[in-house]
Amino acid sequence: MTGVRAIELRLVGLPLVRPFRTSFGVEAEKLCILARVETEDAWGWGECVTGPSPDFSGEFNEGAWLVIRDFLAPALFAAGDVPAEDLDRVFGGVRGNPMAKATLVNAVLDAELRAAGRSLAAFLGAERDRVACGVSVGIAATTGELLDQVGGYLAEGYRRIKLKIEPGIDVERVAAVRTAYPDIPLSVDANAAYTLADVDVFRALDANDLLMAEQPLHFEDLLDHAKLQAEIRTAICLDESIRSAADAAAALEIGACRIVNIKQGRVGGLLEARRVHDVAVARGAPVWCGGMLETGVGRAANLALAALPGFTLPGDTSASRRYFADDITEPFEMAADGTMGVPPGPGIGVEPRPDRLAACTLRVERLEKE
Ligand code: NPG
């Protein structure tokens, strides 16, 4: 492949079909950056998983835009003809900012694979062409509303229900869902809202036969997660705490978790995500593919990743319609058996539809190699 000669950054906005409430806030609209890199041979797309504010992580849209524009793009242009595999080194002068880096790593990889006529799934080492889908259910106003939502998603075929929890909206809610649906695969996600002082909440949750409790404690506190894991039966899964393969190795080594949520954007892109997968597989820990309410561009990348052999649990890889009335790409549909097809085409296998892209775009900036 020849080097990247231009990058188009775009801020896009799409209304969500229902506001998504977590322990750190409510999102009613999906606002994110899409990057399109251009080489002599192909275009490649990358979706940045940052949101409007630095809540899930320290990165956020306007910050990521500047990091890409002022630091990562100049480094990429200066690097010339380098494969995506070398971008760790190219971006090595910029600390942190894995979500901003992932945007360009994934876009360059997509361009490379499109030029080679090879699918992302095949490149990553996928072993199946369909993946099992779960759904993440935001904190509802009432238990009745939550039960309605869960019932609707189960009727659509979702194979695992994940409930967002926060202090005070946890044990009773989860027990109500478990009572209504005694046999479904069920998990909870706290988005770091608890402390070790809340160990009794997690002991009480143990009674609900949960697949896992995701990110119960502070994202920087692996030791406390290890202490909590030693006190409860439910497997802890880490999300925010895992920013790299090294983090995953450390967390599994000290018993801070037994399961890893892999979000490629959170760990710096698809290549590091595959390394996280490999670390977990080597240690016998199951992984699954997390979601960040991505548009079809990010969803396509997630599906390819979720087809790797270590992804043995259903992911937050839901159908487009769970998020958007009209996605940016052709919508991703889930079959009635709760699986979704991995795009077989070159690269991520999908493109934004020009009319939808134009309608959703709030701002564009074109960066060119000098
Ligand atoms: O289906 O994409 C999805 C959403 C899954 O719950 C989900 N994501 O904490 O994992 C999370 C949460 C999230 C969404 C976090 C958006 C940050 C932004």
188 lines ligand 1 (CB under 6 A): no
Among the listed residues 101, 162, 164, 369, the single catalytic one is 164
- 242 Cα–ligand 1 center, Å: 15
292 lines ligand 1 (CB under 6 A): yes
245 lines ligand 1 (CB under 6 A): no
Instruction: Check pLDDT > 90 for residue 201.
Output: yes
- Ligand 1, atom 5: closest residue by C-alpha: 291
Q: Tell me the angle at which helices 143-156 and 171-180 cross, rounded to the nearest 10 degrees.
A: 40
101 is catalytic: no
240 lines ligand 1 (CB under 6 A): no
- Ligand 1, atom 18: closest residue by C-alpha: 292
Contacts of 217 (CB under 8 A, 6+ apart): 190, 192, 194, 195, 196, 224, 225, 228
Instruction: Check pLDDT > 90 for residue 10.
Output: yes
Instruction: Give the residue-averaged pLDDT of 125-153.
Output: 97
* Mean residue pLDDT across the chain: 97
HEC profile for the chain? CCCCCEEEEEEEEEEEEEEEEECCEEEEEEEEEEEEEECCCCEEEEECCCCCCCCCCCCCHHHHHHHHHHHHHHHHHHHCCCCHHHHHHHCCCCCCCHHHHHHHHHHHHHHHHHHHCCEHHHHHCCCCCEEEECEEECCCCCHHHHHHHHHHHHHHCCCCEEEECECCECHHHHHHHHHHCCCCCEEEECCCCCCHHHHHHHHHHHHHCCCCEECCCCCCCHHHHHHHHHHCCCCEEECCCCCCHHHHHHHHHCCCCCEEEECCCCCCCHHHHHHHHHHHHHCCCCEEECCCCCCHHHHHHHHHHHCCCCECCCECCCCHHHCCCCCCCCCCCCCCCCEEECCCCCECCCCCCHHHHHHHEEEEEEEECC
Instruction: Give the residue-averaged pLDDT of 157-174.
Output: 98
- 31 Cα–ligand 1 center, Å: 13
Over the range 229-253, which residues count as b (16 or more CB within 10 Å of their CB) and which as e? beebebbbbbbbbbbbbebbbebbe
56 lines ligand 1 (CB under 6 A): yes
What confidence tier does 1 reach under pLDDT thresholds 50, 70, 90? low
Ligand 1 mutation target, pool 59, 137, 292, most atoms within 8 A of CB = 292
215 lines ligand 1 (CB under 6 A): no
Among the listed residues 101, 162, 263, 369, the single catalytic one is 263
51 lines ligand 1 (CB under 6 A): yes
Rounded Cα distance, 237 and 12, in Å = 31
76, HSE (Cβ side, Cα atoms, 13 Å): 33
Instruction: Give the residue-averaged pLDDT of 151-158.
Output: 98
- 154 Cα–ligand 1 center, Å: 19
What local confidence, expressed as pLDDT, does residue 228 receive? 98
Instruction: Check pLDDT > 80 for residue 239.
Output: yes
164 is catalytic: yes
Instruction: Give the residue-averaged pLDDT of 97-117.
Output: 98
- 293 Cα–ligand 1 center, Å: 6
**What number does the ligand 1 atom closest to the CA of 291 have?**
2
Ligand 1 mutation target, pool 22, 162, 303, most atoms within 8 A of CB = 22
In the chain, the percentage of residues whose pLDDT exceeds 90 is 98
- 136 Cα–ligand 1 center, Å: 7
Dump pLDDT digits (tens) for 271-317: 999 999 999 999 999 999 999 999 999 999 999 999 999 999 999 99
Instruction: Check pLDDT > 80 for residue 2.
Output: no
Instruction: Check pLDDT > 70 for residue 45.
Output: yes
**What number does the ligand 1 atom closest to the CA of 191 have?**
9
Instruction: Give the residue-averaged pLDDT of 63-80.
Output: 97
Rounded to the nearest angstrom, the gap between the alpha carbon of residue 250 and the centroid of all alpha carbons in its chain is 21
